[in-house]
Amino acid sequence: MSQGKQQVRERNQPLSLAELERVEAGEVGVTALVNPLSEELSVQFGELCILGKTVNTRRVFPLIDGYIAEVDCTEFPSGRVDYEVEVELRQSTHTFASAARALSTALGSEIFAALEPSTSKYRRFLDTLS
């Protein structure tokens, strides 16, 4: 199987629990919040609404040679739960092949192959709404 490539642009803005509760209750819209990202979204797109939410729990595991494995458990609105493992290449000397070796060493066997990138969490979230 060939190695795939995926490019995603993501920005985050922390919200307080009180802000989140107000948005979820419908008291205030996402783009009415006072923070740089909400203000930029308001200018670009107008008012936004919440369609649902996911809960993502990430565990991080150090591997050999400075690699890090991130294991995500994502809960979607429909009750679907997905798991993902990513190995981060954080140093200029890191390569796909050596990341595969680091993960194989941690797992005790070479039980994986190069796969196409998975569908994004956002796409899977939208799929659970339909």
User: Which CATH superfamily groups domain 51-130?
Assistant: Hypothetical Protein Pfu-838710-001 (2.40.320.10)
- HEC string of 14-64 equals CCCHHHHHHHHCCCCCHHHCCCHHHHHHHHHHCCCCCCCCCEEEEEEEECH
Could you report the per-residue pLDDT of 60-102, keeping only the tens digit for each?
A: 999 999 999 999 999 999 999 999 988 888 899 999 889 888 9
Could you report the per-residue pLDDT of 48-70, keeping only the tens digit for each?
A: 878 888 999 999 999 999 999 99
- pTM to 2 decimals? 0.66
The ranges assigned to domains in the chain are 12-50, 51-130
